Amino acid sequence: MNHLQTADYAVFLLYFVIVSSYGYWIYRRRKAAETNTKDFFLAEGSLTWWAIGASLIASNISAEHFIGMAGSGFAMGLAISSYEWFAAAVLIVVAVFFIPIYLKNRIYTMPQFLAQRYNDTVSTILAIFWLVVYVLVNLTSILYLGAIAIESLAGISFTTCTIGLAVFAIFITLGGMKVIGYTDVIQVVVLITGGLVVTYLALDLVANKIGVSGVWNGLLSLRTNADSHFHMYFPEGHPHYSVLPGMALVTGGMWVNNLSYWGCNQYIVQRALGADLKTARSGILFAAFLKLLIPLIVVIPGIAAYVLYQNGTFQTEMTSNGAVRPDNAYPVLMNLLPVGMKGLAFAALTAAVVASLAGKCNSISTIFTLDIYKKFFDKDASEQKLVRVGRYAVVVAFIIAIIIAPMLRSFDQVYQYIQEYTNFVSPGVFAIFLLGFFWKRTTTRAALTAAILSIPLSVLLKFWPEVMNLFGVKAAEIPFLHRTMWVFCLDIALMVVVTLTDPASHHNAKGLEIDQKMFKVTPSFIFGSVVILTILAVLYTNFW
């Protein structure tokens, strides 16, 4: 295996020094963050629109994209881009309808919103759900995918990689949200630049192998040599239908998945909660533009690896124990980069991993400290103590992730593992938030019903064929995006029924300030939104 050379390590070291020094400089400028929870967890009022947008993308794009989504690009093609392109449209919805409610009501955490709208019981149940999913699914999978990529690229052992990534991320996280937000700007520049370099060289290699010249011809030849990988819609009966059913793009499963992630997720929304409405909306719109680019730097390289594999280039590198391993696609491509450029790609991958780890762990720390520790263990804790507890939570979360990460080696496409198991919680969360926002009669009893039944309903539908077999009836597997939509619809129906039969439904929503004026947007926001939606329409028209 071709590992990093001295020049590559020099490029990576330069990146490490710049990020660390910049983060430390920001931390020293606002050392008051040590004693102020709003500053530590939200960077209240100090993030600009471009820092918010960059931080959203840096926290979202991680090894699960570079490795997991590139692997899905190798296996199924451009269709996996729907997660990114739908997100661009969803971010517009979040900016218009969700963020104004959070800011108007001074919401700092998602459990705080639930406590304010419903009660502490609903808040605590979902806070625990979020902590479990964030630590056991998200944080662990990000650490795992980052470690296997670096192991393949640099020849460093998996265990050393997990510890090294965790320590780097802890260093960033302990500085608070302001340090995370502004270092994320550098991380985004590095990960997009490095990602584009990998895409450029992958397409150039494809062009050479196919017998044409130029990157553009390489891109065109992908569609010629892998036409099956350039369809956004998978009909029933397609080999990948269960993973990404085409109708989910139309009937709502993909929308529920994205709206829950981008609109009701502490990990994401937290970036905008400390800003004013105009700044938050501008940052979110900037993030939506960046989301349009992501398939170019992660999915296209995966398809390029598929074409090269079919052409006989990666027969050995793409297989393990006799089976093709799609998640090997991106690390294999990075190993083909020239000296120096490989260091940049290594820095890009590390930037994505560390930024995502730091953002995720800051949210874990925020929820644990403000919604669990302060509420149940020490209601009178000082600001200094709460920040200290938040930092301890960061370290503990990483220790758990390091222990669990090696267990994910049994999955072929970890990106699908992340999406599927996160969606055990997403439908119920989105149902609770949606009705909590826009239907004043929704009651606490209704929210509790959805919170308690969402996971059992998801498990029931996941194992639906096995359940039906117990009664002697054959049933087909239900694709997880369809399960997501079914559970969401069931949760909504249950909440409506419970609300209408609950005497408490005649009272107004508790503690929420909502009026139509807060949903008005500026002409520039409308223009940007129209541009994004037009681009999406062109993409789906060409590749449907």
Quick one: how far is CA 412 from the chain centroid?
Answer: 19
304: left (phi over 0), alpha (psi -120 to 50) or beta: alpha
Dist CA 359 CA 268 (whole Å): 8
What residue segments make up the domains of the chain, in order of their start?
6-26+46-200+238-300+339-409
Dist CA 424 CA 137 (whole Å): 11
Highest CATH level, class, for 6-26+46-200+238-300+339-409: mainly alpha
Q: Which residues contact 1 (CB under 8 A, 6 or more apart)?
A: 152, 155, 335
**Residue given tokens 């997880």 in the structure block:** 480
**Residue given tokens 């593992």 in the structure block:** 417
* DSSP H or E run through 390: helix 383-404
Dist CA 206 CA 479 (whole Å): 33
pTM confidence score? 0.81
Dist CA 399 CA 544 (whole Å): 44
Dist CA 94 CA 259 (whole Å): 8
The angle subtended at Cα 143 by Cα 248 and Cα 357, nearest 5°, is 85
Q: At what angle do helices 426-438 and 253-263 cross, to 10 degrees?
A: 70
Are 302 and 198 spatial neighbours (Cβ–Cβ below 8 Å)? no
Dist CA 324 CA 47 (whole Å): 44
3-state secondary structure of 320: strand
Dist CA 397 CA 325 (whole Å): 29
Are 408 and 414 spatial neighbours (Cβ–Cβ below 8 Å)? yes
Q: From first to last of its 544 residues, what are the pLDDT tens digits of the chain?
A: 456 788 888 887 887 787 777 767 766 665 544 455 555 555 455 668 887 888 788 777 776 677 778 888 888 888 888 888 888 999 999 999 888 888 888 887 788 888 888 888 888 888 888 888 888 877 888 888 788 777 776 777 888 888 888 888 877 776 666 666 666 677 777 778 777 888 888 888 888 877 777 788 888 888 888 888 888 887 777 777 777 777 767 667 788 888 888 888 776 777 777 678 888 898 899 999 989 988 888 888 888 888 888 777 766 666 666 667 777 777 777 777 777 777 777 777 777 777 778 778 878 888 888 888 888 887 877 777 887 888 888 888 888 888 888 877 665 555 566 666 677 778 888 999 889 888 888 888 998 998 888 888 888 888 877 777 877 778 777 777 888 888 999 999 999 999 998 887 776 556 677 777 888 888 999 999 999 999 988 888 887 7
Q: What is the sign of the dihedral through the CA atoms of 128, 83, 315 and 206? A: negative
Dist CA 103 CA 112 (whole Å): 12
Residue type for position 456: P
The DSSP code sequence of 219-270 is: HHHHHHH-GGGS-S---TTSTTTTTS-TTHHHHSHHHHHHHHHHHS-HHHHT
